[in-house]
């Protein structure tokens, strides 16, 4: 039987590194118990644990361990034994396999279970930028069949799915995210939404997607001659027979660049613009004023 007292030199408490460095021990046979936990639910869940590990009649107290919902992936970089035990406990207790039905901003929508896992939407309250969803839903409720919503950086489509009337063009350049966007649109039988697997920019160039292994919503693009060409909104919607009433951009720092390629649309249709990043200079130049903040986003309307 392994002698913990000798190995730990009489310590009653060890930290995670000391635990992982214990040799000649089958740590998978340890029982695992959480003594204390502090769970803060929301889009950026934090959970801190104090663990008790038991084996051969001995208790070892492990220092607090912290985890958040964005680490619920195979790419979680902490491969320690204690981290693995923590993740199993965390997933089982707080994040069971999600169902399709989800309530967002008062609207019930269906999301592919894998899409919910990818986006960290295990529970209804996990949806990011809920205030922006509410704002978009309120705007879309005023649409006619001749109005359109351009969702730039649509991710898995939760904001696109706020549409009531009119049409939506949902741009998402990351392939696996786009596939989940398509699945979610299908599940809600909304033929009004057109998913497009391309990036939007201020000018045309060939690009590649640089994927963030941990946070799928923080991918970026860079020039690559072998890749597809970016979409410039003014060119793509030059001969439209509808009015663009709303543009939402979430392009990881490229919002002003994206909107610079939509100057003609903005000057002609005067849509409401919801942007994640600072676009003050451009929007002021185009005769807009910021009317409100919604979560991480700014809402811009024509003067």
Domains recognised in the chain with CATH numbers: 4-94 (no CATH), 101-302 (3.40.50.150)
Residue 244 has what pLDDT?
Answer: 98
- Which one, of 276, 287, 284, 274, lies nearest residue 140 by Cα? 274
pTM of the model: 0.70
Q: Is residue 134 predicted with pLDDT exceeding 50?
A: yes
Q: How confident is the model at residue 296 (pLDDT cuts 50, 70, 90)?
A: confident
Whole-number Cα distances in Å, 56 to 5, 51, 195: 11, 17, 57
Q: Would you say residue 102 has pLDDT above 70?
A: yes
- Report the C-alpha gap between 288 and 266 in whole angstroms: 10
User: pLDDT at position 125, please?
Assistant: 61
Q: What is the pLDDT of residue 112?
A: 82
Which has the higher per-residue pLDDT, 299 or 126? 299
Say yes or no to pLDDT of 70 above 50: no
| Strands annotated E in 73-213 | 101-104, 107-110, 147-152, 167-171, 193-196, 207-210
Q: Using the predicted structure, report yes or no on whether residue 45 has a pLDDT greater than 50.
A: no
Name the band, by pLDDT with cuts 50, 70 and 90, for residue 284. very high
Tokens of 30: 């340890």
Q: What is the mean pLDDT of residues 256-275?
A: 97
Q: Is 57 left (phi over 0), alpha (psi -120 to 50) or beta?
A: left
């Amino acid at each position: 039987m392994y002698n913990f007292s000798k190995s730990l030199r009489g310590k009653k408490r060890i930290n995670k590194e000391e635990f992982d460095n214990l040799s000649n021990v089958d740590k998978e046979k340890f029982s695992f118990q959480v003594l204390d936990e502090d769970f803060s639910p929301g889009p950026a869940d934090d959970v801190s644990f104090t663990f008790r590990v038991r084996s051969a009649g001995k208790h070892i107290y492990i220092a607090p361990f912290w985890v958040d919902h964005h680490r619920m992936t195979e790419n979680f970089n902490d491969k320690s034994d204690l981290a693995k035990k923590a993740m199993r406990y965390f997933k089982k207790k707080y994040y069971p396999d999600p169902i399709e039905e989800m309530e967002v901003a008062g609207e019930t929508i269906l999301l592919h279970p894998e899409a919910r896992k990818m986006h960290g939407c295990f529970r209804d309250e996990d949806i990011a930028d809920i205030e922006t969803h509410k704002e978009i839903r309120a705007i879309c409720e005023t649409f006619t069949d001749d109005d359109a919503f351009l969702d730039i950086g649509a991710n898995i489509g939760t904001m696109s799915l706020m549409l009531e009337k009119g049409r939506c063009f949902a741009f998402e350049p990351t392939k696996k995210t786009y596939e989940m966007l398509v699945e979610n649109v299908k599940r809600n039988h909304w033929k009004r939404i057109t998913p497009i697997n391309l990036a939007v920019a201020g000018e045309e160039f060939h690009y590649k997607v640089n994927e963030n292994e941990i946070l799928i919503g923080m991918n970026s693009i860079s020039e690559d001659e072998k890749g597809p060409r970016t979409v410039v909104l003014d060119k793509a919607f030059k001969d439209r027979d509808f009015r663009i009433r709303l543009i939402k951009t979430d392009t990881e720092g490229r919002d002003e660049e994206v909107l610079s390629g939509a100057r003609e649309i903005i000057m002609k249709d005067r849509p409401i613009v919801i942007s994640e990043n600072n676009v003050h200079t451009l929007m002021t130049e185009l005769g807009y004023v910021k009317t409100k903040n919604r979560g991480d986003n700014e809402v811009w309307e024509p003067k």
